[in-house]
A and B are shown apart, each in its own frame.
Chain A
Amino acid sequence: DQQVKQNSPSLSVQEGRISILNCDYTNSMFDYFLWYKKYPAEGPTFLISISSIKDKNEDGRFTVFLNKSAKHLSLHIVPSQPGDSAVYFCAATLISNQFYFGTGTSLTVIP
């Protein structure tokens, strides 16, 4: 059973606007969450992460929010740029050796 879920397979956003990508998880014991970005024919690259003891982490245009009570995290990209068009995966880890990935959301930023 999928422990990390991304229910939106795709998202389209106008350049300059905010992109919000969502992720839900089922295991309340997860202690760390990560977002990865993937371009076609390449491996995923790390984007941003957040510990379960925090509710927000910001890095430039990227902010990750964690709502533990709802078992929900989101990635905000502001402002969105055409180069942000990629597949975004959220991931969670329990004991830091095993990582559980969502199915990905394909973001298209329209110029």
Chain B
Amino acid sequence: NAGVTQTPKFRVLKTGQSMTLLCAQDMNHEYMYWYRQDPGMGLRLIHYSVGEGTTAKGEVPDGYNVSRLKKQNFLLGLESAAPSQTSVYFCASSLTSGSSYEQYFGPGTRLTVT
């Protein structure tokens, strides 16, 4: 049982390049989330999904897109990377919001945009 995994662990992009971060969970969780963590800012919610085929905006969604084509995967896309998107990105999943609020986090992806 791997829990929540994230691919890649590190990435350096040039301004304007695009990339996709992959999050996978093997716990059959309904809810999945993407956060970014910046110094002095804590974790901020980018987008989330309450089930396969559904996505919704979080606190800081601009510049990002997401897709949840399969229940176990949640993809975060950057279409045209900007230096302001340099951050550590965490994916998380939870069973349901009704029975448990506990989120399980992946190890993070450190992204640098130059």
Residues of A within 8 A of B (CB): 2, 4, 6, 32, 34, 36, 41-46, 49, 89, 91, 93, 95-104
Q: Pick the contact of A49 from B97, B98, B101, B104 — CB < 8 Å?
A: B101
Query: How many residues in B have their beta carbons less than 8 Å from beta carbons of A?
Result: 27
Partner of B101, one of A2, A34, A89: A34
Query: Are B107 and A103 within 8 A (Cβ)?
Result: no
A35 CB, min distance to chain B CBs, angstroms: 11
Assuming the A-B contacts A34-B102, A44-B90, are A97 and B97 also in contact, with contact meaning beta carbons closer than 8 angstroms in the complex? yes
B residues touching A (Cβ–Cβ < 8 Å)?
4, 31, 33, 35, 40-45, 48, 50, 56, 58-59, 90, 92, 97-98, 101-108
> Contact: B102 with A49, CB < 8 Å?
yes
Given contacts A97-B97, A101-B42, A102-B42, 7 further A-B contacts (CB under 8 A): A34-B103, A43-B92, A43-B106, A97-B50, A99-B33, A99-B45, A104-B42
